[in-house]
Amino acid sequence: AAAADASRIIPVQLDVTRDEDIQRALAQVAAHSSDGLYALINNAGFNLNGAFEYTDAADAGALMDTNFVGLAALSRAALPLLRRYAQRHPGATSKLINIGSIGSYIGIPWEAYYHASKFAVLGLSEAMRYELWPQGIRVVAVCPGAIVTDFMPKTEASLPASDAAP
Catalytic residue among 54, 105, 113, 114: 114
First to last CA, the chain: 61
**Which residues pair with residue 39 across a beta bridge?**
95
Q: What is the pLDDT of residue 150?
A: 66
Is residue 74 exposed (0-12), middle (13-18) or buried (19+ Cβ within 10 Å)?
buried
Q: List strands edge to edge, sheet with 39-42.
A: 39-42, 94-99, 137-142
Rounded Cα gap, residues 52 and 100, in angstroms: 20
Q: What is the pLDDT of residue 134?
A: 96
Q: Are 100 and 121 in contact (CB under 8 A)?
A: yes
Confirm whether 114 is a catalytic residue. Answer: yes
**Which residues pair with residue 50 across a beta bridge?**
111
Q: What is the pLDDT of residue 2?
A: 43
Flag residues of the chain having pLDDT under 50. 1-3
Q: What is the pLDDT of residue 1?
A: 38
Q: What confidence tens digit (pLDDT) does each residue in 40-72 have?
A: 999 999 999 999 999 999 999 999 999 999 999
C-alpha dihedral sign at 12, 16, 18, 19: positive
Stated pTM of the model: 0.84
